[in-house]
Chain A
Amino acid sequence: MENNTKSILREFITESFLPSAGLDSFEDADSFLDKGIIDSTGVLELLEFIEEKFAIKLEDEEVIPDNLDSLNKLTSFIDRKKGHAG
């Protein structure tokens, strides 16, 4: 399950953000902020994608670095949310 979430997210981030970040690849633990992978308009795209793809609803308070700022954090956050949702 987790691997699936992770690979979906990795594909989306690679396709949507890596070109404009000027990067070829990124590590699972890389901070999106520190590595410049996502900018502030990118975060909105990422949130929209997550809500749609995983059919979950994000609260404003959840949009924080602890939940979102690396592929690892994002994956476990979404899997946690999905777990709670049902």
Chain B
Amino acid sequence: MLVNEFLEHSADLYPEKVALVHENRRLTYQEVENQANRLSHALAHQGLSKGERAAVYLETSIETVLGIFGILKAGAVFLVINPQVKPDKVEYILNDCQVRCLITDSRHLQSIAAHLPNCPDLSSIIVVDEEYKKNKWDNLDKIEFFDFSDLLADFPSDHPPKCRIDIDLASLIYTSGSTGIPKGVTLTHLNMVTAASSIIEYLENQHDDIIIDVLPLSFDYGLYQVLMVFKFGGTVVLECSFLYPYKLIDLIIKEKVTGFPLVPTIAAILLKLKNLDKFDFSHVRYISNTAQAFPPEHIFRLQKIFPNARIYSMYGLTECKRVSYLPPAELERRPTSVGIAMPNTEAFIVDGKGQRVTTAGQIGELVVRGANVMKGYWNLPEETAQVLKAGPIPGEMMLYTGDLFKMDEEGFLYFVSRKDDLIKTAGERVSPKEIENVLHQIDGIAEAAVVGVNDEILGQAIKAFVTLKDDVGLSAKDIIKRSSQRMERFMVPKYVEIMEELPKSSHGKVNKKKLKALLEERKNDVS
């Protein structure tokens, strides 16, 4: 099966059913199918060939989803770039995987226009609104521009011929790499179909499920909500401006949402509301959580507010989408566990010598087997070799997650910590190195070291320690401002501390353990 067949099968079964809701727009399966077909013909006409990459870079909308399916139907590989990603990084990503076609909006086009002449592979840009026509784009004369709406009007809605098999690539998802350079996780149709099928199986999704998706589609958790809904023929409600929680609550009630995927940060924000108990959320059938465990008091409150909701604690990483889930009935007994391997996946712990750990409580690295494991990082053979290692079957690669785990007597898994220093903040994994690289580009900063600090809402917040070059009057606020001009908001340090010097190891490397110890000391002084 191919990922685009999720849409095609559901359009056959439920042509008149609402598939996709965003603000005041509602599209049926047949409408999504027809429009994605039109777009795929247009992309093929523009010269997008099988296996080439096309990117979607705009605020989450109906067009994001049409873009994903249109690209897949054309036999190409889609990537969704977070709309918050800054121009330097967009340029890097477009060049890293040689994107041929970009679907965007005028505002984002404007922001990256100066960088596009540096992207020689990019040959066409499809814009979803008409604002861009006010500009001449003289510096982009090698790129052809198209209106999204014109393409939908000009091309036929018939089914394009099937031109891929399931071991072909479907998507690249860029993640923050420990080396500081974003890495493209390459996923085949088989990878994505396998993961989506397993998740649907344990969540027991049915075609009458209505899922609200408040997560960015650049993030695998947000993207899979859409893919899964299209597979089981449900309805997905996109709501990506999670700024005013009451608006979200209104929508959950109005749309009679049955599935509510969360990350702990969003739960923490919701639970700050005072009067949640008075709303009728009886239609919510399940809540899912990933990235970090909910604090036990949040589980208790969520259960009270959503009386009919089963709560699923889950664990995964983009490289294989999902690893494990805790059957909801176990939540009370093991609130901090992320459960057992999901269907059709095997997960086990290995010690430092690579031997399987069978003793409860012993800590080791979690390893994953399954058809959901990625093919590698795009063009990064060394980084790939560090995480994908030969499995028991000829040609099989197993995923070494870099996450340290332990299990209890009955084999339930517990996350302990990262092997490296990746920070988990607001549901995203962020590499300190990537942030340090950006800080080093700011004029006046001599050295920078980034660590995660505990935070009630974010799980971990990002803290940067920096030293300055002589005679520059940079303040912590200046540094935060300049970093946010260069990276996504969730990566911007929440705290910046300017130091005389950073503690070093005997080899002259910044000693982060000492920095963390310093923070601990201060915390103890306060309490």
Complex Cα spacing A69 to B276, Å:
22
A63-B484 contact in complex given A20-B489, A36-B489, A40-B269, C-beta closer than 8 Å:
no
Contact of B492 among A20, A63, A64 (CB under 8 A): A20
Q: Mark each residue of chain A from 62 to 84: 1 if its CB lies under 8 Å from any CB of chain B, else 0.
A: 11110011000000000000000
Complex Cα spacing A57 to B98, Å:
53
Q: Is the CB of A43 within 8 A of B243?
A: yes
Residue of B nearest to A16 (CB): B477
B246: Cβ under 8 A from any A Cβ: yes
Chain B positions within 8 Å of A50 at CB level: none
Q: Is the CB of A64 within 8 A of B247?
A: yes
CB distance from A26 to the nearest CB of B (A): 13
Complex Cα spacing A43 to B272, Å:
11
B380: Cβ under 8 A from any A Cβ: no
Chain A positions within 8 Å of B241 at CB level: 33
CB distance from A56 to the nearest CB of B (A): 14
Complex Cα spacing A4 to B457, Å:
31
Chain B residues bordering chain A, tally (CB within 8 A) = 30
Q: Is the CB of B245 within 8 A of A63?
A: yes
Could you tell me which residues of chain B, from 356 to 398, have a CB within 8 Å of some CB in chain A? Answer: none
Among A20, A40, A64, the most chain B Cβ lie within 10 Å of the Cβ of A40
A8: Cβ under 8 A from any B Cβ: no
B142: Cβ under 8 A from any A Cβ: no
CB distance from B433 to the nearest CB of A (A): 21
Chain B positions within 8 Å of A40 at CB level: 242-243, 245, 265-266, 269
A19-B481 contact in complex given A39-B489, A41-B269, A44-B457, C-beta closer than 8 Å:
yes
CB distance from A31 to the nearest CB of B (A): 10
Q: Is the CB of B484 within 8 A of A32?
A: no
Q: Is the CB of B489 within 8 A of A44?
A: no
B485: Cβ under 8 A from any A Cβ: yes
Q: Is the CB of B244 within 8 A of A43?
A: yes
5 closest A-B pairs by CB: A22-B484, A19-B481, A22-B485, A19-B480, A19-B477
What is the interface of chain A mostly: helix, strand, loop, or mixed? helix
Q: Mark each residue of chain A from 12 to 42: 1 if its CB lies under 8 Å from any CB of chain B, else 0.
A: 0001001111110000000011001011110
Complex Cα spacing A75 to B255, Å:
32
A52: Cβ under 8 A from any B Cβ: no
Q: Is the CB of B244 within 8 A of A68?
A: yes
Query: Could you name 17 residue pairs across A and B whose Cβ atoms are closer than 8 Å?
Result: A19-B484, A20-B489, A20-B492, A20-B494, A38-B243, A39-B489, A40-B265, A43-B245, A44-B269, A59-B275, A60-B245, A60-B246, A60-B273, A60-B276, A64-B244, A65-B244, A69-B244
CB distance from B253 to the nearest CB of A (A): 12
Q: Is the CB of A60 within 8 A of B243?
A: no
Complex Cα spacing A18 to B484, Å:
10
Chain B positions within 8 Å of A63 at CB level: 244-246, 273
Complex Cα spacing A39 to B426, Å:
12
Chain B positions within 8 Å of A44 at CB level: 269, 272, 457
Complex Cα spacing A32 to B426, Å:
20
Could you tell me which residues of chain B, from 466 to 516, have a CB within 8 Å of some CB in chain A? Answer: 477-478, 480-482, 484-485, 489, 492, 494
B274: Cβ under 8 A from any A Cβ: yes
Q: Is the CB of A60 within 8 A of B484?
A: no
A11: Cβ under 8 A from any B Cβ: no
A21-B484 contact in complex given A40-B266, A41-B265, C-beta closer than 8 Å:
yes
Chain B positions within 8 Å of A68 at CB level: 244
Chain A positions within 8 Å of B489 at CB level: 20-21, 36, 39
Contact of B246 among A15, A38, A64, A69 (CB under 8 A): A64
CB distance from A24 to the nearest CB of B (A): 8
Complex Cα spacing A43 to B458, Å:
14
Chain A positions within 8 Å of B426 at CB level: 41
